[in-house]
């Protein structure tokens, strides 16, 4: 996922963080700060949705509540997987242009932060980008909510974030060469379908864990 969707969608942010930096050590440091910001955002999202999911445990005293939560989560992931694979493209989650909303205030805020020379600038940009709407982030958040735990939700989103880092950091170190490759339709389509099958496996795991509990 990180080598297809993330490079294509977030590549411009990665290169923006690099700016005019030429030193490899400086690029690595700025990317560590940036990725740390993304990790913070995903951790917050994971803890929040995991906590919201955990509320279903208090909706009743029976394991069937947890079972139905897992079954619903798995079903949603399965439907999203069908959209990601391309069988039903309409099931793909939308990714609204948040930067362009409210008269472009988000875009101006991002540009202002990008021009900042403060040492914390890459960290702030990472936090900013981490909260941007993203179909894959939505998918991971659904899985995090399905854990029914703030801690497990946080860990799920952190693992997801770590999984996207290799591709983005490779892009940062290679500058624009990968950005020229992965937006190509055939490459992105192939890896996008592969990521859809990963989502389908996640869905199967949730459903398989939930079905036995429905008999109690």
Q: Give the domain ranges of the chain.
A: 2-215
Q: What is the pLDDT of residues 26-73, one digit of tens each?
A: 888 888 999 999 999 999 999 999 998 888 765 544 556 667 777 777
Q: What is the pLDDT of residue 36?
A: 94
CB 91 within 8 A of CB 79: yes
Q: What is the pLDDT of residue 88?
A: 76
| 19-47 residues labelled b (16+ CB within 10 A) or e (exposed) | eeeeeeeebeebbebbbebbbbbbbebbb
pLDDT at 90 over 60: yes
**What does the DSSP 8-state code read for residue 20?**
T
Give dist(CA 86, CA 45) in Å, integer.
Answer: 27
In this prediction the pTM is: 0.69
Q: What is the pLDDT of residues 14-30, one digit of tens each?
A: 777 776 666 778 888 88
pLDDT at 216 over 70: no
Handedness of CA 54, 59, 65, 68 (dihedral sign): negative
Helices within the chain (DSSP H only): 7-18, 24-54, 63-85, 105-115, 121-130, 135-146, 150-174, 177-181, 185-210
Q: What is the pLDDT of residue 150?
A: 93
Give dist(CA 75, CA 73) in Å, integer.
Answer: 5
- Report the alpha-carbon angle 44-47-53, nearest 5: 140
Q: What is the pLDDT of residue 7?
A: 66
Q: What is the pLDDT of residues 165-207, one digit of tens each?
A: 887 887 777 765 555 555 555 555 666 677 677 778 877 877 8
Q: What is the pLDDT of residues 119-175, one digit of tens each?
A: 888 898 888 888 877 777 887 888 888 888 899 999 999 999 998 888 788 777 776
Of residues 127 and 10, the one with the higher pLDDT is 127
């Amino acid at each position: 996922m990180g080598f297809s969707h993330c490079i294509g969608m977030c590549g411009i942010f990665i290169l923006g963080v690099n700016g005019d930096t030429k030193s490899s050590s400086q690029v690595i440091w700025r990317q560590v700060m940036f990725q740390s910001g993304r990790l913070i955002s995903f951790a917050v999202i994971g803890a929040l949705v995991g906590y919201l999911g955990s509320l279903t445990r208090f909706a009743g005293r029976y394991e069937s509540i947890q079972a139905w939560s897992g079954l619903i989560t798995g079903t949603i992931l399965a439907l999203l997987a069908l959209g990601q694979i391309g069988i039903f493209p309409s099931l793909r989650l939308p990714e609204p242009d948040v930067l362009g909303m409210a008269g472009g205030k988000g875009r101006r805020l991002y540009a202002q932060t990008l021009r900042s020379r403060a040492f914390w600038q890459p960290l702030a940009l990472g936090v900013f980008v981490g909260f941007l709407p993203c179909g894959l982030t939505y998918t991971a958040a659904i899985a995090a909510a399905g854990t029914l735990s703030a801690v497990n939700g946080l860990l799920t989103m952190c693992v997801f974030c770590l999984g996207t880092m290799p591709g983005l950091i490779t892009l940062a170190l290679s500058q624009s060469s990968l950005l020229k490759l992965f937006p190509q339709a055939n490459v992105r389509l192939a890896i996008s379908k592969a990521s859809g099958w990963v989502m389908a496996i996640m869905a199967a795991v949730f459903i398989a864990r939930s079905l036995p509990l429905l008999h109690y």
